[in-house]
Amino acid sequence: MKVFPFEHKNRFENLEVALEHFKPQCAAFSPEQEEIPRSYFQEVLEDENGALVQKGRSTRVKVWWKVSAF
Residue 10 CB contacts under 8 Å (≥ 6 apart), including other chains: 18, 21, 53, 54, 56
User: What is the distance between the alpha carbons of residues 27 and 20, in angstroms, rounded to a whole number?
Assistant: 11
What's the pLDDT at 69?
A: 73
Residue 9 clears pLDDT 70, i.e. is over it: yes
Q: What is the pLDDT of residues 39-62, one digit of tens each?
A: 999 999 999 999 999 999 999 999
CB 54 within 8 A of CB 9: yes
pLDDT-derived band at 68, boundaries 50, 70, 90: confident
Q: What is the pLDDT of residues 27-36, one digit of tens each?
A: 988 999 999 9
Q: Write down the domain spans for the chain.
A: 2-62
Residue 27 CB contacts under 8 Å (≥ 6 apart), including other chains: 33
